[in-house]
A and B are shown apart, each in its own frame.
Chain A
Amino acid sequence: MSDGQDAGRAAFRRKSAEIGIAAVFFLFGALVMFDSHRLGSSWGDDGPRPGYFPFYVGLIICLSSLVNIVRGLAIPADKNSPFVLTSQLKLVLEVLIPTALYAAAVSWIGIYVASIVFIGYFMRWLGQYPWWKVVLVAFGTALVLYLIFEVWFLVPLPKGPVESLLGLD
């Protein structure tokens, strides 16, 4: 697996990941309990109040994540294997960040242009394909999607300025 020194280094280890995620769970559970308490988590005149059920859901989240935090803390050093290696994390982020940008871009340039750019980035940057293949696959995919959704199933997808320029919307 590890072919270089850098590739074999852990970005962070399992112990921190376990504790981190369990802590996020705990905070979320506390938030649920807080809002449920605000709505009334007790028994009203006409039965359980709106916060009754979610309050206990939040409570169970908090209690079980406490157990998970303790179990995370108890991981011995020799069993604390790497959660993700720096080389892996780099690859994941190289995809995750563009995906997040892609999701953000859809609202103002439309899903077609965003998809062409996204597929193009992926193939050119990570796959190192020649430009003609990149263009072929990216535009081909957009065309196929357009035919399936807009033409055959009549499901409109978000469009942006480029589509209105082409008179497609």
Chain B
Amino acid sequence: MQEIQSLMHGFGVALTPMNLVLMFTGVILGVIIGVLPGLGGANGVAILLPLTFSMAQTPGGATSAIILLSCIYWGALFGGAITSILFNIPGEPWSVATTFDGFPLAQQGRAGNALTAAFTSSFVGALVAVIVITFLSPVVANFALEFGPPEFFAVYLLTFCAFIGTSKEPPFKTLAAMMLGFALAAVGTDPVTGTLRLTFGSTRLLTGFDFLVAVIGLFGIGEILLTLEEGLAFKGASAKLNMYVVLQTWKELPRYWATSLRSSAVGCFMGIVPGGATPASFMSYGVARRFSADGEQFGSGKVEGVVAPETAAHAAGTSALLPMITLGVPGSPTAAVLLGGLMIWGLQPGPLLFVEQKDFVWGLIASMYLGNIAGLIVVLTCVPLFAAILRVPFSVIAPIIMVVCAIGAYTVHNAIFDVWMMVVFGVLGYFFKKLHYPLAPLVLAIVLGDGTEAAFRQAMLVSQGDMSIFFSNALVGGMTGLALLLLFWPLISWLYAKRPRKSTPA
């Protein structure tokens, strides 16, 4: 039980008064970010990342910084549920499925029950995912220590092909958006030879595009422009959460243990294989409806219909950090931003992290347990406060969010040029969202572009340009094969659907 020992050591690292303060600060900020339109986990963390630059320079500071940022992430995951249930506005994409039963419950005056169920099942989902991370990530990291360039390229390939295979957006749009990310990542100095690429003589482009600026523009400005179009009338149910309602709901929840377990499993799987929290929440809602005794009543305000998507979304959002810390391949845009933070602080994500930065890794894992407990306490006690934030009129909150986004973009490199790029990315984000070009693979490609290219070129150097290196052993061949299957999955399912059916389907 090496892991338990390491974990206890991690609790020792994470449990300082300073870190506890950061944990609560992070969670509260995160819930606010999750509740506000235009701010979400990914760009909330991106905006606050520059504030941690100096913090991470102090001894043990990197651990404090990751605790702050990951707690913002947990807070944002919790916050999405509040707007879904009270206002029927999903604060985050993964909360859409929560509105199906959460909002009807609120209309029936049972908002308190819905919120308690959502928060508690979020907590359960996250807890299962953290336990999975605790015991699985050392194994994965140990395994990955043996990885060479072909294996790493196969992991990257698998990540990106999974987007095409699991995304509900048109595959060619996913492909185009993803490749746009790779092209943007290639701008600037070639990591291998140092040649300037795609700069067209501009000195501003020498360092390339920073994905943090892209994230702030695409998710922040783009989202605000979209929200404006909808016209804003926040008419929400009022939220009252007292101990009586909480206890009453907690008495009801153990009935749904099977749903919780299934949803956690779906969530963990979708988080580790980069499908992400959003498909996980929908899938889990669908599964729960099929298995539940009163599945037909889903959508009319069943507590079980809140439990299923929330458990899965939180499990997926949390387990997305597993490939991030063990392989350096994030499973979600927010995990990608956290990965970017690690690199800026001077930590190299990947299997060596478990050998060289034990304090950091186990401090982070221990903080996931503590951060989610902190999150549960904060959301259960402060719901009315957070709901009040949503009642601030949009014409006041929107310009403030825009200004905060601009400052976030500026502070990444202290460059005003980045503020202009943010506006450009904002317009792109607006069009992409409306036309269903997915943003997650675009962001991940900007982050991982250089690593993917380096792994590919190194592998090609080893094999002298022979592509068969990606099938040279069972491990790399298996991953490449799975990646190709996912890549062609839309084609396969399309052909299958078009197949003329002569007999009645079994």
Binding site for B on A (CB under 8 A): 14, 17-18, 21-22, 25, 28-29, 31-32, 35-36, 39, 43, 47-54, 57-58, 60-61, 64-65, 67-68, 71, 83-84, 88, 91-92, 95-96, 99-100, 102-104, 106-107, 111, 115, 118-119, 121-123, 126-127, 129, 137, 141, 145, 149, 153-158
Residues in B with CB closer than 8 Å to A95 are 224-225, 228, 398
Query: Counting CB contacts under 8 A, is B430 at the interface?
Result: yes
How many chain B residues touch A (CB < 8 A): the figure is 59
A56 to chain B, nearest CB (A): 9
A110 to chain B, nearest CB (A): 10
Residues in B with CB closer than 8 Å to A50 are 190, 192-193, 195, 197
Q: From the candidates A53, A54, A92, A103, name the one contacting B225 in the complex (CB within 8 A).
A: A92
Q: Mark B393-434, 1 if CB is under 8 A from A, else 0.
A: 101101110111011001100101001101100110011101
Q: From the candidates A51, A84, A155, name the one contacting B197 in the complex (CB within 8 A).
A: A51
Residue of B whose beta carbon sits closest to that of A155? B411
* In contact, A158 and B228 (Cβ under 8 angstroms): no
* In contact, B186 and A122 (Cβ under 8 angstroms): no
Q: Answer whether A53 and B403 are a contact pair too, CB < 8 Å, given A17-B435, A60-B175, A61-B180.
A: no
A156 to chain B, nearest CB (A): 8
* In contact, A127 and B431 (Cβ under 8 angstroms): no
Stretch from B285-293, B341-349, B455-463 that touches the partner: B455-463
Q: From the candidates B54, B420, B422, name the one contacting A104 in the complex (CB within 8 A).
A: B420
18 residue pairs of the A-B complex, CB under 8 angstroms, read: A21-B437, A31-B198, A43-B465, A47-B460, A48-B457, A53-B456, A53-B457, A54-B183, A58-B179, A91-B229, A95-B225, A96-B423, A102-B406, A103-B422, A118-B402, A137-B396, A155-B50, A157-B410
Residues in B with CB closer than 8 Å to A28 are 180, 183
Query: Counting CB contacts under 8 A, is B170 at the interface?
Result: yes
* In contact, A64 and B176 (Cβ under 8 angstroms): yes
Q: From the candidates A36, A58, A118, name the one contacting B403 in the complex (CB within 8 A).
A: A118
Q: Answer whether A57 and B457 are a contact pair too, CB < 8 Å, given A35-B198, A115-B403.
A: no
- Which 10 A/B pairs are nearest by Cβ-Cβ distance? A127-B395, A122-B399, A50-B195, A88-B229, A54-B186, A119-B399, A50-B190, A64-B176, A64-B175, A67-B172
A115 to chain B, nearest CB (A): 4
B109 to chain A, nearest CB (A): 29
- Cα separation A122 to B399 with both chains bound (whole Å): 6
Residues in B with CB closer than 8 Å to A102 are 402, 406
* In contact, A103 and B456 (Cβ under 8 angstroms): no
Residues in B with CB closer than 8 Å to A49 are 193
- Cα separation A113 to B198 with both chains bound (whole Å): 35
* In contact, B183 and A61 (Cβ under 8 angstroms): yes
B488 to chain A, nearest CB (A): 14
Task: Kindly name the residue among A53, A60, A68, A129 whose own CB sees the greatest number of chain B CB atoms within 10 A.
Answer: A53
* In contact, A35 and B420 (Cβ under 8 angstroms): no
B9 to chain A, nearest CB (A): 30
* In contact, B183 and A149 (Cβ under 8 angstroms): no
Residue of A whose beta carbon sits closest to that of B176? A64
* In contact, A158 and B410 (Cβ under 8 angstroms): yes
Query: Counting CB contacts under 8 A, is B387 at the interface?
Result: no
Query: Counting CB contacts under 8 A, is B494 at the interface?
Result: no
* In contact, A153 and B51 (Cβ under 8 angstroms): yes
* In contact, B399 and A17 (Cβ under 8 angstroms): no
* In contact, A47 and B176 (Cβ under 8 angstroms): no
- Cα separation A60 to B182 with both chains bound (whole Å): 11
Q: Answer whether A103 and B434 are a contact pair too, CB < 8 Å, given A50-B192, A141-B400, A155-B411.
A: no
* In contact, A39 and B197 (Cβ under 8 angstroms): yes
Residue of A whose beta carbon sits closest to that of B404? A145
